[in-house]
Amino acid sequence: MSESKKENKAFSIIERRGIFYPAFDAYNASSGFYDYGAIGLRIMRGIEGAWRNIFIDEMGATEIQTTDIVPEIVLKASGHVSTFTDPVIGCKTCKSSFRADKLLEEYYDKKHDKEGLAALRKFDKKAMQAKITEYKIRCQRCGGELQGIEDVNLMFKTHLGHGTDNVAYLRPETAQGIFVDFKNLFRIYGLKLPAAIAQSGKAYRNEISPRQQLVRMREFHQMETEIFFDPADEQKRFNSIDLDALLSKEISFVYRGGKESTETLGALLKNGRIPNKLFALCVYMEAKLLDTIGIPKNVYRFREVEKEELPHYSKGNVDLEISTSYGWIEVSGNAYRTDWDLSQHAKLSGKEITVLSNGKKITPHVVEASIGLDRLLISLLDNAVQEGKDRGWEWLNLNESVAPYKYAVFPLQKDEKLESAAANLQARLSENRVASYYSVSGSIGKRYAKSDEIGVPYAITVDFQSLEDGTVTVRDRDTAKQARTKIGDVK
């Protein structure tokens, strides 16, 4: 991998165990694309499963799947064709391109300049160019001079059909498919406001200079939930959820300007930092998701987006950030999108997108919770890695809900009877839908090390005593302590 080990604490485990790795690496192809190995895919599915349990099952959202390719007219309506841009600066010598804001962000990070980072959020292109010149920031490839910031659209463009001008794009977000489908879904499924529609899937952005492994990618995975509601209604309940009961939840919150404090959702609602109770519900559910998958409370926070960063349609944005070896990573964006999306799609399609609410036709407003699965995964790994000085290897302290397997099953050594008993145990676990894997290769110590490294909570060893009394040794990953138990009690 091209990233420095110092940049991510879990780097050595990620690389050695193939949790994820650069796509098409044999060809030194374009950066920003990553493939997941078997372990990474299982962890990712565990995170996605936790999201589905909370945002789909518990919240009562309707989950759909929309297409990855989107006609241009849809993205003209959403504003992506005209405004979905990043500030890009070029090297006068080698012609390489870089995101101007990210170059300055890295500069301020290295200087530990919090005031500079805060000011950067308000910089326009002229201010960014002035600072890059003042700080003598040079091309990261050849050391050449950087000059000329332009707004560059980030979407991947294609055409529908051969030799036509029917333009389309790979979707830059999953939300627009939900908005276009909303009215049909509302009618077909008999939805009532407020109603949540969600989907989990790929999105694509042509990042200028992808880096930091899964943090800035060109193909990535989003888990998005859109809550449609009547702004004239008082928000007391959402399906079976009492919204007022959530308002006592305390979160770490960063106000505009950088002030950080612990606040209740109720206090943030009262002072206007959270625009409504459904927005508070999204924040509450995101905190619950992080708690469920094992992100420590002291490493995540919610940040109020600066006014200069707000989309023109927004009445409030709050980002969820996690502290990592890369610094604070935005892993989710919460937005009050008002009725802007539905109104724009109605305008350009010529079709009314309204529903009945309290006997009146309305265009619903929308609150959005958009979570980046890849970013959440790398943040989880970075915070889960343990040094393990007492055992001689680093390991991942993963919650059972996201661990790739619950059990590792080992015969003590290569012996036909031991191998048969261990294989039978592993087969029984698999039949009962308990995630486990079997291994006989290497010493038992090396197998324990591998099991720890990939975050497996328990390792079961079948030894000669197992053949006599039907017991096995169960080793706890976190404490490394072992205890004997009956094979039939392993579930």
Q: In the block, which residue shows the tokens 């949540």?
A: 196
Q: How is 397-460 classified by DSSP, letter by letter? A: ---TTTSS-SEEEEESSS-HHHHHHHHHHHHHHHHTT--EEE--SS-HHHHHHHHHHTT-SEEE
Q: Which residues contact 362 (CB under 8 A, 6 or more apart)?
A: 230, 232, 354, 355, 356
Q: Which residues contact 418 (CB under 8 A, 6 or more apart)?
A: 411, 412, 462, 463, 464, 466, 467
- Per-residue pLDDT of 333-371, as tens digits, reads 999 999 999 999 999 999 999 999 989 999 999 999 999
Q: Which residues contact 63 (CB under 8 A, 6 or more apart)?
A: 52, 56, 197, 198, 199, 200
- Per-residue pLDDT of 364-410, as tens digits, reads 999 999 999 999 999 999 999 998 888 889 999 999 999 999 999 99
Q: Is the pLDDT of residue 211 over 80?
A: no
Mean confidence (pLDDT) of the chain: 92
Q: Is the pLDDT of residue 453 over 80?
A: yes
Q: Which residues contact 201 (CB under 8 A, 6 or more apart)?
A: 65, 66, 68, 174, 221, 222
In 3D, which of 305, 375, 291, 307 has the Cα closest to residue 334?
305
Question: What would the mean pLDDT of 323-336 be, rounded to a whole number?
Answer: 94
Burial class (CB in 10 A: 0-12, 13-18, 19+), 319: buried
In 3D, which of 399, 340, 328 has the Cα closest to residue 47?
399
Phi, psi of 263, rounded to the nearest 5 degrees:
-130, 155
pLDDT grade for 7, boundaries at 50, 70 and 90: low
Q: Which residues contact 436 (CB under 8 A, 6 or more apart)?
A: 405, 406, 407, 408, 409, 426, 429, 430
Retrieve residue 214's tokens: 């899964």
Q: Which domains does the chain have, with CATH numbers?
A: 5-62+171-383 (3.30.930.10), 85-153 (3.30.40.230), 405-489 (3.40.50.800)
Classify strands 407-411 and 458-462 as parallel, antiparallel or unpaired. Answer: parallel
**Calpha distance 404→455 (Å, rounded):** 7
pLDDT of residue 4: 39
φ/ψ bin of 54: left (φ > 0), alpha (ψ from -120 to 50), beta (otherwise): alpha
pLDDT of residue 279: 97
- Give the three-class secondary structure for 227: strand
Burial class (CB in 10 A: 0-12, 13-18, 19+), 53: middle
Q: Is the pLDDT of residue 130 over 50?
A: yes
pLDDT grade for 51, boundaries at 50, 70 and 90: very high
In 3D, which of 64, 53, 67, 2 has the Cα closest to residue 29?
2
Side chain identity, residue 88: V
pLDDT of residue 442: 93
Retrieve residue 480's tokens: 């490394």
Retrieve residue 228's tokens: 């449609």
Q: How is 351-392 classified by DSSP, letter by letter? A: ----EEETTEEE--EEEEEEEEHHHHHHHHHHHHEE--TTTT
CB 19 within 8 A of CB 36: yes
Omega cis (within 30) before 22? no
CB 461 within 8 A of CB 471: no
Question: What would the mean pLDDT of 147-166 be, rounded to a whole number?
Answer: 87
**Calpha distance 201→196 (Å, rounded):** 17
pLDDT of residue 3: 41
Task: Give the largest Cα separation in the chain, rounded.
Answer: 78
- Per-residue pLDDT of 83-112, as tens digits, reads 888 899 999 999 888 989 889 988 998 888
- Per-residue pLDDT of 406-446, as tens digits, reads 999 999 999 999 999 999 999 999 999 999 999 999 999 99
**Calpha distance 215→377 (Å, rounded):** 10
Instruction: Return the bridge partners of 168, or none.
Output: 71, 158
